Chain A
Amino acid sequence: ELKVEQNPLFLSMQEGKNYTIYCNYSTTSDRLYWYRQDPGKSLESLFVLLSNGAVKQEGRLMASLDTKARLSTLHITAAVHDLSATYFCAVDISDGTASKLTFGTGTRLQVTL
């Protein structure tokens, strides 16, 4: 059974600081997604990583995927308060015949002044 572990579970960081969220998974997959969720809201897609070595950046967020290490990272640069939310990684083990995302536990990010 696929297991997806995120760490840390909770991250309190000051504005302007950098930090990385880690997502480890237990089985082979070359599709990984990062989502953001604000309290009481749905999941907002941030990044779609589809191959080994994929790196994508949007604003202060950068995501990467290492399929050999079964590891994805979400790096936050110079955090701002607006980034406060819960971040989920999700591994896709679809084989083209059926879809299923397995989510990590989520990392609750709190950016303080």
Chain B
Amino acid sequence: KAGVTQTPRYLIKTRGQQVTLSCSPISGHRSVSWYQQTPGQGLQFLFEYFSETQRNKGNFPGRFSGRQFSNSRSEMNVSTLELGDSALYLCASSWKQGGPGYTFGSGTRLTVV
């Protein structure tokens, strides 16, 4: 059974650019959540999508956005990148909202220079 797939694994971008990260959930899972992990702030919730609708959003600026497609794959976009956006971005899938149980992907490590 395939796990949660995130692409790309690594990314280097320049300040001011934008970036799009992709997450394919486990087959049959319809909920996808995104988290940002940094050494200073730890793991923080970004947003959650279910049935192509954003159901919950964390305390991040509007530069962070996302969407979910009909096949449950999700993308997140960060515009006007800042140095502080350098982080490991993790997505998690579960078969329904509220879990229980969330399976995390391998993450995308974004470096902003």
Contacts and interface: CB of A to CB of B under 8 A. Distances in A.
A100 B45 contact: yes
A48 B48 contact: no
Interface in B37-57: 42-45, 48, 50, 55-56
Contacts of B106: 41-42
Interface stretch (B12-20, B71-79, B92-100): B92-100
A77 interface: no
A99 B94 contact: yes
A100 B33 contact: yes
B97 A94 contact: yes
Contacts of B44: 103
Contact of B55 (A40, A41, A88, A98): A98
B98 A101 contact: no
B105 interface: yes
Contacts of A106: 42-43
B56 A31 contact: no
B98 A42 contact: no
A105 B44 CA distance: 10
Interface of B is mostly: strand
Contacts of A12: none
Given A42-B107, A103-B43, A106-B42, A98 B100 contact: no
Interface string B62-94: 000000000000000000000000000010101
Contact of A94 (B43, B90, B98, B107): B98
A66 interface: no
B58 interface: yes
A42 B56 contact: no
Contact of A98 (B35, B42, B56, B104): B56
Give 5 closest A-B pairs by Cβ, nearest first.
A94-B98, A98-B56, A103-B43, A98-B55, A43-B104
21 contacts: A33-B102, A41-B106, A41-B107, A42-B104, A45-B102, A45-B103, A48-B100, A50-B100, A92-B98, A94-B99, A96-B97, A97-B98, A99-B50, A99-B97, A100-B33, A100-B45, A100-B48, A100-B58, A101-B43, A101-B92, A103-B35
